[in-house]
Amino acid sequence: MKEKTGKRTRRVLTAILTAVLTLSFTAGSQAGVVGPGAKIKPSTNGVTIYVSKINKEVILKQNGVVIGTYPASLGEESGSGDKEVQGDRRTPSGSFYVCLKNEKSDYYLALGVSYPAIPDAKRGYEAGLITEEERDAIIKANEAGETPPWDTALGGAIEIHGDRYPGGVTAGCIAVDNSVMDILWEYCQVGVPLTIGP
């Protein structure tokens, strides 16, 4: 009788321990908890990118948890203000999203930035830089989560891409090391929110 009770107790304890460990693992992975043995799995859900122009870095987060902070090279004239026109060699500021993934980039891999955004289109139209049709096309693309026209006077084809040279500058893109680009490529899908700020 004692032997049966002992086996039953062990089975119950094993079941309880298994349930506790499973719940702990599941809760930790869903909440984005980091710590010994924990890992945040790549997902489009909860992934965001922040680019700090002052600190020249890219910050990748998932569910508010920092995955990594990485050095970046920015547009050569970014310190002179926000991007206004094609060829001004400035990295734009504002709220964007990843609008495409380019695995055939001349710069290793690239994530397209949805510049020009709606505020840029309105500014450009009011300043007489773009036509009403161009403004409307940019707005329509942004509202649909697509790649906006990159061939207007406002410029475009801004990307986060690889092939960064330490201390180097770009024509307006955000360049990171190829190893960092591998991480961004794994975590980021089209639609991931991307903010470029101070």
Q: What residue ranges do the domains of the chain occupy?
A: 1-39, 47-197
120-151 tens-digit pLDDT: 999 999 999 999 999 999 999 999 999 999 99
Task: Identify the CATH class of 47-197.
Answer: mainly beta
| pLDDT of 162 over the 50 cut | yes
Q: How many CA atoms lie within 13 A of 186 on its CB side?
A: 13
Mean pLDDT calculated for residue range 6-21: 47
CB 154 within 8 A of CB 129: yes
| pLDDT of 181 over the 70 cut | yes
3-state DSSP assignment of residue 133: helix
Sign, CA torsion 36/185/91/149: negative
CB 61 within 8 A of CB 48: yes
CA gap 171, 83 in Å, rounded: 11
> Which distant-in-sequence residues (6+ apart) come within 8 Å of 13 by Cβ?
none
pTM recorded for the entire structure: 0.76
| pLDDT of 19 over the 90 cut | no
pLDDT band at 118 (very low <50, low <70, confident <90, very high): very high
List helix spans (H) across 32-103: none
CB 188 within 8 A of CB 111: yes
Residue 6: its pLDDT value, please? 53
Which residue type is seen at 197? G
Mean pLDDT calculated for residue range 64-83: 94
